[in-house]
Each structure stands twice: as C-alpha cells, then as structure tokens.
Amino acid sequence: MVSELALGQAVSAPFVLAEMRLCPFRNKPGQYLDLRLADRTGAITARLWEGAEEAAQALAVGRVVMVEGRVDEYRGSPQLVLAGLRLAEPGEYEAADLVRESPRAREEMEAELEEMVASVSTEPLRALLEAVFGEAEFRERFATAPGAARLHHAYRGGLLEHTLAVASLCRAAVRLHPDLNYDLLITGALLHDVGKVFELRGEYAFDYTDEGRFCGHLVLTDRFVTARIAQVPEFPSGLRQLLTHLLLSHHGELQYGAPVRPKIAEALALHYADNLDAKIQTFADYRESAESGPGPWSPYHHALEAQLYLGGGRPESEKETEGREELNFDFD
C-alpha cells in the first residue's frame, strides 16, 4: 500500500496508473516517464529513467500496472524510482485494494440526500430535485462518481459525500442567517456539481472526458439543470434565473472558472460552503498521502498556497520552550 511505503524500501506491487507523461532529459537526449501511481490509501510520484518511450506505448492511464522499484526521496517527498513496469494481468491484484471509496456508507448518504430533498417545500424546486435524483441511471452515476479528478473527494462516492457536506454547511448558514432563502440555497447546494457526472470518467483512476475538458462542470451543470427545469410544469422564470445564478457563480471568482461572481446572498453562502468543504478535504487527503513527505511540515502545496503543518500535538518550537521561564514583555 502507498501509505506503508518507506524510504529505501524495495517495491514489487500493483498500482493504478493515475497519470503519465514523457519528459525530456535536461542534459542528454531522450525522455523519461513521469508517473503518478495510486491505490486506495493514497498516491505517489514515480520515475522510469530507462526505456521510457517503449514503456509509454504499452501503458494506458487508468489501467492497473505491476511495478518494480525502490522508494527514494526528491525535494522532501518520497518517490518511486522504477526498474520496470507493465500492465497487470487479471488475477494479479484485488480491485478493492486499488479503488478508494468514500468512508461514508452509500445507503447512509442516499438516505440523507432523500431527507434533504424532502426538506425543500417550494414545489417547483422540490419537483426539480425529485426529477433529477429520481432518474435511476443518473442517480447511480451520481452516487458512485468522484468529487474531483485529484484535489478533493477524488474517490468513488466522493461527489455525493461532498454534495451533502456543502448542503449541510448551507443548512447551518441558514440557522445563523435566517434571511437566507433555505429552499433556494439547499437546491443550489444539491445541484451545484451535478455536471461532474459528465465531466469525469474512470474506474480505477479518474480523468476528464472530452466534454469535461472543453466545457467544464459549471457549464455542464447549467445545461443539465436548465434542461430538467424545462420539464417541470410552470417553473417560474425568476426562480430559474436565481437558481442558475447560484450554479454558475459557485466558484466565486472568474480566475477559478466562474463565468460570473455571486450577486445574491444565497450565491455567496453556496460559494463559501463549497470552498470550505473542498479545502478542508484537500488538506485531509494530502496529510494522509505519501506525497505529503516525512516530517511535520509538507513541501509547498500549490493548491493551498502554503507549507502545511501535518504533525500531531504541539509544534516543535513550543516543545523547545517547555520548562523555560516565560518571557516577560512588560516594558513599563
């Protein structure tokens, strides 16, 4: 398992080939393979220095590969230096070891989803939610889809888990700010990422569909929900505008893919609830992964824009001062 790898350890095991690219050597002709290997416990970067071009032709992202190599360290993080790898044969691996799933039981999450839908009292909004989540094929895809390709909730069931967390945060926001429109906000929370069903694909590793790369899940969400709204009799046009605004603005800023910034309080609440759950889960996933590196401080995390403190208990600086006389800053 990735989580059990230690520096200097020899490795002969199956992993999911999550990412792969050929990179040119800096100081000599030829290319090497830059890989990301994963199982249900995490992911680790890997390098294949020899025979990279030939290996790349025989491999495919999303497939299970057998690797031979050793754990090394690069810039403070562990990586696998490979002696070789090939596609795995059936019977050489257990799928349950390779595919990470939500820690929450699907039955529990689906029951919570049903409760959330039933809590919406505005008839057109509840009818829309019932139409979307009552469609068996879509419901199956939504319940098993990842929440992202990599950064947060990137596992089976992650989309449903993330959706419920965002809806729960929005429900808490209404308790603190009763002027928020509960029905509009909860409907937006439950629908805000439905486009990810069409944006992402994969059984063992997750990647973007062509449609996902061209359009992104905000546009796909808007198209899907707009089409379903058209099937709800007498759906008010003003309510449609407010709901689609929540969906299109939930990334908050134009540089993060939102075609428009939030312009109503419910859109602001949805944006910050979505961002809060995504960021906290990103931190938690990274802390548990091999890529976070040894020691209490991580390498610089580009998505969270900081070196992250991953250690338990108190920082070393606090431990070092234990037992010393407290500094006196009284200058009178």
The overall average pLDDT reported for the chain is 88
Instruction: Tell me the per-residue pLDDT of 174-210, one tens digit each, with 9 for 90 and over.
Output: 999 999 999 999 999 999 999 999 998 877 777 788 8
Number of domains within the chain: 2
Q: Which of 243, 259, 285 is the C-terminal boundary of a domain?
A: 285
User: Can you give the CATH number for the domain in which 92 is found?
Assistant: 2.40.50.140
- Range list of H helices, the chain: 52-58, 95-98, 106-118, 123-133, 136-144, 158-176, 182-191, 196-199, 210-215, 217-229, 237-249, 265-288, 316-320
- The three-class DSSP label of residue 96 is helix
Final residue before a domain boundary, out of 285, 306, 325: 285
Residue scoring higher pLDDT (151 or 74): 74
- Domain span at 89: 2-97
Q: Is the pLDDT of residue 321 over 60?
A: no
Interatomic CA distance for residues 80 and 266, integer angstroms: 46
pLDDT, position 120: 98
Residue 300 lies in a domain: no
Residue 151 maps to a domain: yes
Percent of the chain whose predicted confidence (pLDDT) is above 90 = 53
Burial grade of 24 (CB within 10 A; 0-12, 13-18, 19 or more): exposed
Residue 327 placed within a domain? no
Residue 252: which pLDDT band, with cuts at 50, 70 and 90? confident
| Of 189 and 320, the one with more pLDDT | 189
Which has the minimum average pLDDT: 190-194, 284-288, 324-328? 324-328
Residue 211 domain-assigned (yes or no): yes
- Say if residue 169 is in the same domain as residue 20: no
What pLDDT shows up at residue 41? 83
Q: How far is CA 159 from CA 21, 56, 101, 155, 196, in A?
A: 27, 31, 11, 8, 8
Q: Are the C-beta atoms of 255 and 245 separated by less than 8 Å?
A: no
Structural element, H or E, at residue 177: none
pTM for the full model?
0.77
User: Taking residues 307-332, what's their average pLDDT?
Assistant: 61
Residue 324 resides in a domain: no
H/E stretch holding 258 = none
